Amino acid sequence: MLRATSRRISQSVLLRRPRPPSPELLFLPFLYPPVSRNLRWLRSSLSVSSIEPSPNPPRPRRTYSTTTCHVAMPDTLVGIDGGYNPGSNPVGLKGRDITSVEGPSLLIVDTPRLRDSVKKKARIIGGISEDKHEVLATFEACIRVGRIARAQLMLNTITNLLDITSPLLVGAHNTFLKALLNRALAENSQDSLRVFYTWYEDTMKRELNISGDATTMGLLMEGCFAVAEKRHGTRYIQQYFSQWKEQGRDINEVFALSILSDEHVIAVAKICGLKPDDMSEKYKNLYLEEAVEPAITKVANVQSSDVKGSSLAAIKQSLASLTDPDAMPSRHSFGQDDVTFQIERQKHLEMDAMKSAHERWKKDHEQLVERGIAPLRNSVNTLLWSWHQALVPLIKQELQRVAEAEENPGYPSAPDRCLYGPFLRLMTPEKVAAVVILEIIRMQNSQLNGEGTKSSHAVMAIGKILEQEYYAQELAKRKNRDIFGSLEKEELGELFNNMAMFRAVIKKARQKMLENPQQTVDLMLEWPGSVKAKLGAVLISMLLHCAKISITKLLPNGERSIQHHPAIQHAYNYVKGRRLGVLKLHPDVVQKLGSQPLRGSSMGRNLPMLVPPLPWLAWNEGGYYYTRSRVVRTKASKEQDIYVQTASNRGDLDQLFQGLDVLGQTAWKINKRVFDVVLHVWNEGEEFADIPPRDTGLDIPPEPAPNENPRVRMEWVKEVRRIKVLEKNNHSQRCNINLKLEIARAFLFEKFYFPHNVDFRGRAYPIPPNLNHIGDDLSRGLLMFDEGKELGENGLRWLKIHCANLAGYDKASFTDRVKFVDENLEDVIDSAENPLGGRRWWLKAEDPWQCLAACISITGALKLPDPTKYKCHTIVAQDGTCNGLQHYAALGGDLEGAKQVNLEPSDKPQDVYTGVAELVKAQVKKDADAGNSVAILLLGHITRKVVKQSVMTNVYGVTFIGARAQIQKQLEDNPAIPRQEVVRCAGYLARLVFDGIKSVFTGATKIQHWLALTARMISRSVSPAQYGDLKDHHNGVLQDSKNSHIRRKGKVEFMTSVVWTTPLRMAVVQPYRQESSVIVQTNLQKIYISDPSAIDQVNSKKQMTAFPPNFIHSLDATHMLLSARKCAEIGITFAAVHDSFWTHPSDVDKLNRILREAFIELHSVNIMEKLKDEFETRYKGYKYLVSIPRHAPQAKLIKAARKQYAMEILEKSGLTVVEDLEWELERDRLLASEDPQERQKGEKMITPSVILHRAGGARVVEVQEPLGAELGEVPSSAAVERAMAQQDVFDDGDDDSAMDKSSTIEAMIADGEEAHMELDNFDEDREAQETEKMLPPTTTRETLATGIHVWVPLEFPPLPPKGDFEVERLKNSQYFFS
């Protein structure tokens, strides 16, 4: 309720000013130059026909700027629903209007600041928290559920906590006023109405001197119409109008709100003597015409009959939109056309997921009861219904206990109930129970390892989904949220067929909303983390108690016994020495979920859409119609949110929005012929293609005797564990497939769409998580384009090439691939006409389900007299050749690498995986000849498939451990390799694979090294924004502390993340920081939650190891979105999965041209040079802490200079890290002075950086620290990191200095949990963690242990020289994407 309470805040933050689409929005290269230069490489748009710049290019409206836009770091952020989180001003509005900044200036947000002290746990007095966020959110919840008396107590606390001028305070009192007014109107009580006016006149106006805003005035005037004596009400309206006018305010501000009905607005205008010309156009027309009531209101009500059951009530509820004026659609109705119908269906799809699941469970349960069947022993739906029926009474009992706690907050459990109780009341117990059960099932479906869900994750997930469901419930009630209510009827004809018109219409509608002031009531706060944790825990505890499953046991006497077992268990697992609480479903429940249809019971809200997604217009505006989504997926990173929201407000994300809109406009449908085959196979329950069997058929081997050899027993334990894991994985996979099939069945005859957003690197993903085109072979095989296009001249050829690719014959020339399909044409036709009863040739393909779809289309085309006329819906994919290596080869001009990844023209496609495999084979043969036992074992078993995954992921930062695991997985399927030798063989091969990559991609290796080195330097630097805070180390603000999550006396915090700008002007912020957690004690277990408002120190190692792959990800994401926009311009249907681009067979030739020219356009400039330029601008004036060996000659001079400075100037024996930094900054200040004497003094100062500079610079003597897993680099030890964690920053070793003994680089950059990278090809979190463990030593332990550290200016190393490859040669490479 208390969000965006200031109009000035909400207008500029919530709704970015719509910008007219411009063909000149795309500028390449993308990185803003820090100095003025000849920008000949600028392009006004992406050209498909030519890459040559015009001799006199037109001047674009928005050009590159030499300026930068600095934005202050706000304390808190705008929430997902566009509201305002309490605490401070929103993003970018501290003393500046970011929308007025001339783009495209470089966006730079001030370096975050670490907290000065530990945040104290808020006290709870009388059941009311003293935490500002908690009390505001709880106050909102109390108002929502009508607990006015308790809300008043909280409002008193809020008044004491907030400044009297705070807009939040006005909003809180407005919220309370509205609750009082609603109560008075509901009770039709004049006494309650007096309480309403007394609160304003006595409390707000006299005691607090709060006169209120437009919302306050609207509420007061609305209350006047409820006054019993009409003449008194009229007089009050005149008094409040005079009061408003005396303040110099316009009454139209009040009228623009939705507080007063249209009739009351006209009545106020007439009472106050306003003329029609004094009012807005809308009310001017209403003032002059008679109000027309809906005709239905004049029809007499139908007398209800004595009908048993709920059918009549259900019918009435369904007809409410036709009979209840308040529930009727907007006056700007759409009419009875199909578009309107689909939009209405979309609303139900988004809003009624929980309700439909609840009704389905109930229906199945009742049908079984009527048939006399025990419900607990049958379908999943009736099982879930039984849980629901048991959980609802427990929730109601808990609500009673909450009420008792609020009356008597003194007993032990009362404070917690007073905290979460108001939030539990926000939805009905029936809806809460359904949400909890559905989320538990959803989490189980997402756990493919069968090991259960971490209870800490489950607790927070339950709290979060309840919050989202509440938001959705409230947003659906708001008429102004329905954008289509503002659209004109005549604009709908071509709306969904014209993307440009669609965007323009939505912008126009939102602009109308923007012009109307927002209310300072009915706004929603983010729920506090502690509330979500406690609420989730108490609800899960209830479900653990009541959720049962019936198990039939065979007794020794032969009788059967039915026992009721807990369906969900809370247990503890030990992971790497840590005890983690987990929730596990009973095996029989898992079996049911994997073998029975869910029938809509757990599909969730984020489903495919029945209408085209809303165009993205802001960071939180786009995609679904009634559910909020973020355009960028961030993971609890305040810094990322700041950049995203600020860039959105500035218009920097317009190009990103347009690319995502193209992806969302692609219409899909289910391939019914493939679906029929899948459904038949699924119902049979046998293993087929990638569908696991219903029953694995594996039996637990007999347990060895107690006196058996321990080794035999150990092997038995391993085998049992292997079978158990296989069974769990099998069930989990069936659950996942079951969900996909349910969604496919529901959409079987529908045309649907996938709204898209991006991760923090700019990679696009469909928002619906289950069935989508980014999924596995089964998902892709089930999907096809809704629009069919005739094959045309080359369509059948490309369809055959596509079929050959799917069959695994993808390394031959195009001609040979077509020949391959022609030679197997009988099998292709047999596969299409008799997929299960025939020869099943399609099952031999690498991607069988997609291959089946291709066979069906080829057969359909060949049956026509003219195959070119066949309307094809099948997708043809164009895949890049290890796309990451393609970008590396282009960046470094690596000629040999370019040949390997098909950037160079050739007669047949080059295969980097085969190339590396051949190098590995040669080395294995050589080692085998030399007698290497592992090499001898592997002779003849090295295939392309064995090395492919490790080669593909190496470019994205896979570690040696990760590559070994990937190869091990391939070797485990080879019976010729003894199981006990698999790990050793995998490690041996991983080293050879890394060596092979390094020998081929020399240029890429150098680029990756430079990226990792610069990331390390950035993450170990301090910014000018931090310099001003150094005084706090001397003025008593900071104290000595061992807590690394706060600012500490004598220590410097490393707060700088690696930030860069993509070609689409999206600022990418790496989120890797330490995380400070707060313990929340719940009745389930202790839960650790992180404070989303806090920004901790960076994790230097993770910033360093993640930057190279993340930078490459941002480039391939840019290439994809640029290609998508151009495809939309020329009318090509387009879909993509990162580096696999899809279109109709007839359009593949056009798509290929677009892909090449987009790649050339992207790399036609020196991207690395532009990145270096941006870094030099973004990190100008930063100081970097460099390490040099203690034995170096410069080290002795530095130690002597420090000792002299400390004794003569500071009169102490040594320097702290802060004092050494201040010494360097003082020299910089003197050198920059306008006073010649000060400049001369600065020139004479000899600081450690001066000594180092005179010796040739830091890079001459700097300790060569490891940079983690580089391309083809094989780490061997973690000694370096352990040594660094033990050394002192400025311990010069020859005196008892005052240096902080714990201020090492690694002590200042403690490990933290890495942010989640969503939906990638491998687990990058795990990879980064493994990289930290595997950092190789480049110097001895003695060298590191005796090193010293020096503050130097942050200066980036020279870029590696670029090779001879010219990216323009790509134009003639037919196998670039194939």
Q: Quote the strand ranges of 1124-1255, DSSP E.
A: 1135-1137, 1140-1143, 1183-1188
**Of 262, 352, 810, 879, which is the active-site residue?**
879
Indicate the angle between helix axes 353-370 and 429-446, nearest 10 degrees.
90
Name the amino acid, one letter, at 238: Q
DSSP annotation string for 646-659: HHHHHTTTHHHHHH
CA dihedral over 759, 761, 766, 769, signed as positive or negative = negative
- Round to whole Å and give the CA distance between 1263 and 1344: 8
Residue tagged 């090499």 (tokens)? 935
What φ, ψ does residue 616 adopt, rounded to 5°?
-75, 125
Q: Which helix (H) or strand (E) holds 288?
A: helix 281-288
Residue tagged 């973004």 (tokens)? 1178
Judge contact between 622 and 657, C-beta under 8 A.
Answer: yes
- Round to whole Å and give the CA distance between 1258 and 1263: 9
Indicate if 277 belongs to the active site: no
- Round to whole Å and give the CA distance between 1185 and 1217: 10
**Of 948, 1051, 1170, 1199, which is the active-site residue?**
948
| CA within 13 Å, CB half, 644 | 31
How big is the chain, counted in residues?
A: 1378
- Round to whole Å and give the CA distance between 850 and 870: 19
- Round to whole Å and give the CA distance between 466 and 248: 44
608 burial (CB, 10 Å; 0-12 / 13-18 / 19+) is buried
What φ, ψ does residue 1376 adopt, rounded to 5°?
-55, -55
- Round to whole Å and give the CA distance between 321 and 659: 37
Judge contact between 525 and 637, C-beta under 8 A.
Answer: no
Q: Quote the strand ranges of 25-73, DSSP E.
A: 68-71
Judge contact between 1165 and 29, C-beta under 8 A.
Answer: yes
Which of 825, 661, 672 minimizes the C-alpha distance to 748? 672
- Round to whole Å and give the CA distance between 978 and 981: 5
DSSP tag of 609: B
- Round to whole Å and give the CA distance between 827 and 993: 37
Residue tagged 């928290």 (tokens)? 129
Instruction: Say whether the peptide bond before residue 104 is cis (omega within 30 degrees of 0).
Output: yes
1080 torsion bin: left (phi>0), alpha (psi -120 to 50), beta (else): beta
Residue 871, classed as helix, strand or coil, is strand
Tell me whether strands 568-575 and 578-585 are parallel, antiparallel or unpaired.
antiparallel
Angle 658-659-660 from CA coordinates, rounded to 5°: 90
CA dihedral over 532, 535, 541, 545, signed as positive or negative = negative
- Round to whole Å and give the CA distance between 845 and 851: 7
Residues in CB range of 501: below 8 A, 6 or more apart? 491, 494, 495
- Round to whole Å and give the CA distance between 110 and 1023: 9
Judge contact between 1305 and 1224, C-beta under 8 A.
Answer: no
Which of 1273, 1264, 1276 minimizes the C-alpha distance to 1333? 1276
Torsion angle (degrees, nearest 10) of CA 198, 203, 207, 212: -100
DSSP annotation string for 1259-1294: HHH------SS-TT------HHHHHHTTS-SS--SS
Indicate if 879 belongs to the active site: yes
**Of 1139, 1173, 1228, 1320, which is the active-site residue?**
1139
- Catalytic residue numbers? 879, 948, 1139
